């Protein structure tokens, strides 16, 4: 019992780091003046609590398709930006998408949690291609901080160190995830209630005083997703996604993820020495903000209109 509980905890921490990597380390793309090891650690632990909620949703509501997964990612994104911080309410209605849907659901969950694991399962070629694409976009995104007031671009070597060290930890997280979550993660009512109470207290005493609109907006958003995911659970019979795409026979494939910092560092260094200053953040905003809204609507209707399915093809999410 103790070993099983320990593996569940380690799996949640690994999932928390995967989400933390894409939601924080990639998003900020540099060491900020206020960053420190204790600050990063506490943020990782906060993401691990959110990861527990996310995994519980995937397991409880039989999340098997990418559409149901996007709704689960929306819960993760809106809890992150609507409870832990309050950016969801800062620039309505666009702030409903960026960053809760446009970054957390789309990039952290769809790409970082789902697509990377699927690529690792598929083989080396798929992993290398996806890692190169992620790294290329990572490098372009990092350039956006150069045009912020008061920002001094970090030297390429410093950026490379940041990306390589964090990606090595990401590789460890993926390896730990595959050896714990698929086999050992099982939702627990007592833990669920405790975590829910923690978030509820934080929401009531921190988020609502800081953004009073939160008391109306967030419950409505979460209720809408709950209704859709409940319908998904009534129709879905295939395995939930957290148990799919597990491959531990060729663990050296994880090293292919090092192409993320390689590609990112090459893009970053080329721009640095060329002296370019690009507003790549606006390009990403213009693409992902409407994409977040569009994907949410599509996902909602896909899930709501889904017909009951047979358990055949359990390893082929759509």
CB atoms within 10 A of CB 229: 22
Q: Note whether residue 45 is domain-resident.
A: yes
Q: Note whether residue 309 is domain-resident.
A: no
Question: Distance (Å, rounded) from C-alpha 175 to C-alpha 11?
Answer: 10
Q: Note whether residue 31 is domain-resident.
A: yes
**Inter-residue contact 184 to 11 (CB < 8 Å):** yes
Supply the pLDDT for residue 311: 58
Q: Note whether residue 310 is domain-resident.
A: no
pLDDT in tens, 233-244: 999 999 999 999
Angular region, 245: left φ>0, alpha ψ -120 to 50, beta rest: left
Instruction: Report the domain count for the chain.
Output: 1
pLDDT tens digit at each of 318 positions of the chain:
788 889 999 999 999 999 999 999 999 999 988 899 999 999 999 999 999 999 999 999 999 999 999 999 999 999 999 999 999 999 999 999 999 999 999 999 999 999 999 999 999 999 999 999 999 999 999 999 999 888 889 999 999 999 999 999 999 999 999 999 999 999 989 999 999 999 999 999 999 999 999 999 999 999 999 999 999 999 999 999 999 998 777 788 899 999 999 999 999 999 999 998 889 999 999 999 999 999 999 999 999 998 876 655 445 555
Q: What domain range is 112 assigned to?
A: 2-304
Q: Note whether residue 51 is domain-resident.
A: yes
Predicted TM-score (pTM) of this structure: 0.94
Supply the pLDDT for residue 317: 56
Percent with pLDDT over 70 in the chain? 97
Q: Note whether residue 311 is domain-resident.
A: no
Q: Note whether residue 313 is domain-resident.
A: no
Q: Note whether residue 64 is domain-resident.
A: yes
Supply the pLDDT for residue 149: 87
Supply the pLDDT for residue 314: 47
pLDDT in tens, 169-228: 999 999 999 999 999 999 989 999 999 999 999 999 999 999 999 999 999 999 999 999
pLDDT in tens, 64-79: 999 999 999 999 999 9
List Cβ neighbours of 213 (8 Å cut-off, separation of 6 or more): 89, 92
CB atoms within 10 A of CB 286: 10
Question: Distance (Å, rounded) from C-alpha 120 to C-alpha 84?
Answer: 31
């Amino acid at each position: 019992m103790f070993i099983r509980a320990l593996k569940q905890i380690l799996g949640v921490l690994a999932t928390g780091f995967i989400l933390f990597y894409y939601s924080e380390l990639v998003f900020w793309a540099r060491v900020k003046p206020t960053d420190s090891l204790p600050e990063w650690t506490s943020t990782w632990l906060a993401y691990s609590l959110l990861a527990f909620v996310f995994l519980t949703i995937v397991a409880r509501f039989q999340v098997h398709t990418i559409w149901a997964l996007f709704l689960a990612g929306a819960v993760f994104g809106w809890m992150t930006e609507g409870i832990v911080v309050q950016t969801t309410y800062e620039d309505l209605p666009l702030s409903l998408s960026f960053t809760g849907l446009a970054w957390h659901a789309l990039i952290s969950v769809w790409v970082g949690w789902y697509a990377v694991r699927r690529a690792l399962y598929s083989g080396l070629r798929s992993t290398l291609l996806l890692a190169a694409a992620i790294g290329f976009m990572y490098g372009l995104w990092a350039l956006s901080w150069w045009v912020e007031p008061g920002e001094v671009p970090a030297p390429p070597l410093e950026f490379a160190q940041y990306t390589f060290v964090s990606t090595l930890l990401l590789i460890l997280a993926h390896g730990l995830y595959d050896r714990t979550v698929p086999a050992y993660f099982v939702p627990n009512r007592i833990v669920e209630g405790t975590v829910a109470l923690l978030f509820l207290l934080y929401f009531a005493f921190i988020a609502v005083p800081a953004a009073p609109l939160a008391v109306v907006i967030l419950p409505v958003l979460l209720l809408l997703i709950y209704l859709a995911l409940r319908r998904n659970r009534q129709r879905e019979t295939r395995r939930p996604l957290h148990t799919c795409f597990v491959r531990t026979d060729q663990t050296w494939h994880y090293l292919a993820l090092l192409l993320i910092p390689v590609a990112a560092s090459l893009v970053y260094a080329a721009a640095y020495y060329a002296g370019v200053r690009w507003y790549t953040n606006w390009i990403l905003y213009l693409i992902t903000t409407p994409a977040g809204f569009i994907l949410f609507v599509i996902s909602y209707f896909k899930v709501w209109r889904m017909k009951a399915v047979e358990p055949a093809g359990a390893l082929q999410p759509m």
